[in-house]
């Protein structure tokens, strides 16, 4: 009896080992590509972050922590005192704030949208999903310039507000954080809607009925039943929006102008006019860590989920 079950286990273990070997072989090309395509450049960036900037561009091969130091502190050119790099902190703070706001706005807009789509019948659903994905077909730059056209002082938004008599002077929306926020919310909204839709579509609406049956009103049903069950979709959508928002480059550049920089623009600056490749490299690595921390949070949040049926 024990012998039989022992050999059975061995057979199972063998099969599992074979399966793993086979899967490894199959994923080899992808792994190779990832290794060369992602890890290679990343390694270069990591190495550069510990070097000295070249006089005009590039790096000087001399190891130093200077670039990492510069992220947070600056040395006064005149008296050599060390102070916090206020400008950098402002940019970080703006990036995090705008990314969080974008996530929140897309969540608030995306939730009812996804709910609406998920509760349509089959054909209508396809239609609405199709509409949601249309923006993906157009170049990001072009869409961003379209937003710029709408937000500028003589743009459609200001004209409409003036015509309606809400304001007399055009609002300066363009080249403010608000413009960046509007642009990013627009660009990343589909990334929020799609995972939310997937979660709501899977929601068993009989649970909603059960909630009503047990004296929960609409708000309570939403908070106590729908929200916890679609939480994985909310977290996924938030990550999908927050991560690219944080590294956004085109949108803040076009709609924020030169002044309202975000981390992405600041990094670009170091490789261009700033002529400080190591600082750009260290900032890139830092950004990567922030993103990884966010992903880790996501994994933690979703694995703490209770077992579902």
**Site for another protein contains 225 (CB under 8 A):** yes
For 73-151, list the strands marked E by DSSP: 73-75, 82-84
Is residue 220 near another protein by the rule CB under 8 A?
A: yes
- Residue selected from 5, 63, 213, 259 as contacting another protein according to rule CB under 8 A: 213
Query: Which one of residues 20, 72, 207, 297 is an interface residue with another protein (CB under 8 A)?
Result: 207
217 exposed, middle or buried (CB, 10 Å; 0-12, 13-18, 19+)?
Answer: exposed
How many Cα atoms are found within 13 Å in the side-chain-facing hemisphere of 229?
20
Q: Which of 6, 83, 165, 307 binds another protein (CB under 8 A)?
A: 307
* CB closer to another protein, 232 vs 244: 232
**Collapsing DSSP states into helix, strand and coil, what is residue 52?**
strand
- Spatial CB neighbours of 143, under 8 Å, sequence gap ≥ 6: 135, 186, 187
The closest of 133, 96, 131, 86 to 248, measured between CA atoms, is: 96
Residue 13: CB minimum distance to another protein, A: 27
**Does 309 contact another protein by CB under 8 A?**
yes
215 contacts another protein (rule: CB under 8 A): yes
Is 212 one of the binding residues for another protein (CB under 8 A)? Answer: yes
Burial class of residue 258 in the structure, from the number of CB atoms within 10 Å of its CB (0-12 exposed, 13-18 middle, 19+ buried)? exposed
Contact range with another protein by CB under 8 A, out of 38-46, 126-134, 140-148, 210-218: 210-218
206 binds another protein per the rule CB under 8 A: yes
Residue 6 interacts with another protein (CB under 8 A): yes or no: no
The SS3 assignment for 60 reads strand
| Rounded least distance, CB 219 to another protein, Å | 11
Task: Give the Cβ contact number of residue 297 at 10 Å.
Answer: 13
**What backbone phi and psi angles, to 5 degrees, belong to 265?**
-65, -35
By CB under 8 A, tell whether 216 contacts another protein: yes
Binding residue for another protein, selected from 229, 286, 291, 294, defined by CB under 8 A:
229
Query: How many residues sit in the footprint of another protein (CB under 8 A)?
Result: 21
**Under 8 Å between Cβ of 283 and 267:** yes
Closest to another protein by CB, 86 vs 213, is 213
CB 304, min distance to another protein, A: 12
According to CB under 8 A, which residues from 125 to 164 bind another protein? none
Only segment of 29-37, 171-179, 206-214, 274-282 that touches another protein (CB under 8 A): 206-214
Is the Cβ of residue 211 or residue 280 nearer to another protein in the bound state? 211
Q: How far apart are CA 162 and CA 175, in angstroms?
A: 20
Q: What share of the chain is helix, strand, coil (3-state, %, to 5)?
A: 75, 5, 25
Query: Quick one: 226 or 240, whose CB is closer to another protein?
Result: 226
**Minimum separation from the CB atom of position 232 to another protein (A):** 11
Q: Which of 172, 169, 125, 133 is nearest to 151 (CA)?
A: 172
Is residue 265 within 8 A of residue 249, CB to CB? The reply is yes
Token pair for 40: 């290679």
Q: Contact positions toward another protein, by CB under 8 A?
A: 204, 206-207, 209-217, 220, 224-225, 228-229, 306-309
């Amino acid at each position: 009896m024990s012998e039989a079950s022992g050999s059975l286990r061995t057979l199972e273990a063998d099969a599992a080992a074979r399966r793993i070997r086979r899967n490894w072989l199959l994923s080899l090309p992808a792994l190779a590509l990832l290794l060369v395509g992602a890890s290679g450049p990343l390694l270069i960036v990591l190495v550069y972050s510990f070097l000295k900037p070249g006089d005009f561009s590039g790096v000087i091969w001399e190891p130093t922590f200077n670039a990492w130091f510069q992220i947070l502190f600056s040395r006064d050119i005149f008296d050599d005192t060390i102070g916090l790099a206020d400008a950098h902190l402002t940019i970080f703070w703006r990036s995090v704030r705008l990314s969080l706001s974008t996530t929140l706005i897309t969540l608030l807009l995306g939730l009812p949208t996804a709910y609406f789509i998920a509760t349509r019948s089959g054909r209508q659903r396809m239609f609405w999903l199709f509409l949601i994905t249309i923006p993906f077909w157009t170049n990001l730059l072009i869409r961003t310039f379209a937003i710029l056209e709408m937000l500028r002082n003589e743009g459609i938004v200001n004209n409409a507000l003036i015509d309606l008599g809400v304001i007399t002077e055009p609002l300066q929306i363009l080249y403010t954080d608000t413009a960046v926020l509007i642009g990013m919310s627009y660009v990343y909204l589909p990334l929020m809607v799609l995972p939310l839709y997937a979660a709501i579509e899977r929601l068993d609406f009989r649970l909603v009925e059960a909630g009503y049956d047990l004296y929960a009103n609409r708000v309570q049903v939403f908070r106590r039943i729908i929200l916890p069950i679609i939480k994985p979709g909310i977290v996924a959508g938030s990550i999908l929006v927050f991560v690219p928002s944080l590294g956004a480059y085109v949108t803040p550049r076009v709609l924020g102008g030169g002044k309202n920089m975000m981390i992405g623009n600041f990094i670009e600056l170091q490789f261009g006019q700033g002529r400080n490749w190591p600082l750009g490299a260290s900032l890139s690595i830092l950004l990567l860590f922030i993103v990884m921390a966010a992903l880790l949070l996501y994994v933690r949040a979703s694995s703490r989920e209770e077992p579902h049926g």
